[in-house]
Amino acid sequence: MARPDLNLLVTLDVLLAEGNVARAAQRLRLSPSAMSRALARLRETTGDPLLVRAGRGLVPTPRALELREKVAQLVQDAEAVLRPTEAPDLKQLVRTFTIRTSEGFVENFGPGLMARVRKQAPGVRLCFVQKPDKGSAPLREGAVDLETGVVGEAMGPELRVQALFRDRFIGVVRAGHPLSKRKITSARYAAGQHIGVSRRGLAQGPIDEALGALGLAREIVTVVGGFSTALALARASDLIASVPERHTGVLREGMHSFALPIPLQEFSVSLLWHPRLQADPAHRWLRGLVVEVCAAQPQAPQA
């Protein structure tokens, strides 16, 4: 069976609403002959004359009367589907968004983001999950709505990316630590005992490469999986933690922070999402809030 031409629904809707071929043609911007051909196709498709002569005018058949409201609703629904999505009523929005990010991002930017969300859309819940790796499968599979991090080769090429801020690694020690009392040179920094940070348990990284280029090496006495753990250890000992500056502002309060005395490039932290959510108005609203929070969060001054 041949599939009916769905474009005829619009023609049928106007024809049944007007009850007049000439007026329907004018409304649809069709010539009288084109309108007559469309009516002939409608009659053939529905198996009903739809409009029949009665004196000088046309009257609808029982089948036409039966179809009039149904067709009108179908056309309205189709137009709603094809119309750009309107901004959501945030006060009535009930939805859970899952954000895959680091613990440092949640601790520093989470409170500000939550405050904005609760004020604008109290029915929205944010679910923060950890990043055991940099793969893009959770975004691609729909398990995650948003992700923050440094864009790497493991990220899928189809992902949408928006830069949030620049960050850099700094050194952090407890208040009163020997490194807090005199100028920190690369030799003094390397001579201390260090905490390594690696999700995969690696003991070497870019900092060690930069030191190696200067003919220096640091002693890493322990390796932890996150920056908050590294800072907790440094706060309670003479160990040195090297952490991202903006990601750890809240966690470093009361500690001594210093610029690393080695050449190390800054890096960009970005917001990532799958293109299927690009036009979703609620998702777009949340993306805007994340950008606002990151722009508003001041960089913590170094001690």
Structural domain includes residue 90: no
Same domain, 157 and 282: yes
Same domain, 155 and 102: yes
Same domain, 283 and 157: yes
Same domain, 186 and 128: no
Domain limits for position 17 = 8-82
CA R_g for the chain:
32
Same domain, 160 and 175: no
For residue 51, what is the domain's CATH number?
A: 1.10.10.10
Domain edge (last residue) among 56, 82, 108: 82
Same domain, 177 and 245: yes
Same domain, 111 and 43: no
Is the pLDDT confidence value at 302 over 50? no
For residue 184, what is the domain's CATH number?
A: 3.40.190.10
134-174 pLDDT per residue, tens: 778 888 888 999 999 888 766 667 889 999 999 999 999 99
| pLDDT averaged over every residue in the chain | 89
Q: Report the pLDDT value the prediction gives residue 271, as an integer from 0 to 100.
A: 95
The letter for the amino acid at 224 is: V
Same domain, 23 and 155: no
Is the pLDDT confidence value at 92 over 90? yes
85 contacts 274 by C-beta, under 8 angstroms = no
Cα–Cα distances (Å) from 300 to 96, 170, 296, in that order, read: 31, 12, 12
Q: Report the pLDDT value the prediction gives residue 83, as an integer from 0 to 100.
A: 67
233 contacts 224 by C-beta, under 8 angstroms = yes
The letter for the amino acid at 178 is: P
Structural domain includes residue 302: no
Is the pLDDT confidence value at 82 over 90? no
Structural domain includes residue 2: no
Q: Report the pLDDT value the prediction gives residue 85, as an integer from 0 to 100.
A: 65
- Predicted TM-score of the model (pTM): 0.69
Q: Report the pLDDT value the prediction gives residue 114, as an integer from 0 to 100.
A: 96
Between 233 and 53, the more confident residue is 233
108-130 pLDDT per residue, tens: 899 999 999 999 999 999 999 98
- Range picked from 28-32, 41-45, 46-50, 167-171 for highest mean pLDDT: 167-171
Same domain, 274 and 162: yes
Tokens of 86: 């309107």
Q: Report the pLDDT value the prediction gives residue 258, as an integer from 0 to 100.
A: 96
Q: What is the mean pLDDT of residues 209-233?
A: 94
CA 71, CA 276: separation in Å to the nearest integer? 31
174-187 pLDDT per residue, tens: 999 999 988 999 99
The number of folded domains in the chain is 3
CA 179, CA 177: separation in Å to the nearest integer? 5
CA 137 to chain centre: 15
Structural domain includes residue 205: yes
Structural domain includes residue 301: no
The letter for the amino acid at 264 is: L
Same domain, 53 and 124: no
DSSP H helices, the chain, are: 8-18, 21-28, 32-46, 62-82, 103-120, 137-141, 186-191, 206-213, 227-235, 281-296
Same domain, 74 and 192: no
- 136 φ, ψ (degrees, to nearest 5): -100, 10
Between 262 and 55, the more confident residue is 262
Lowest mean pLDDT among 143-147, 187-191, 198-202: 198-202
CA 66, CA 73: separation in Å to the nearest integer? 13
Same domain, 153 and 272: yes
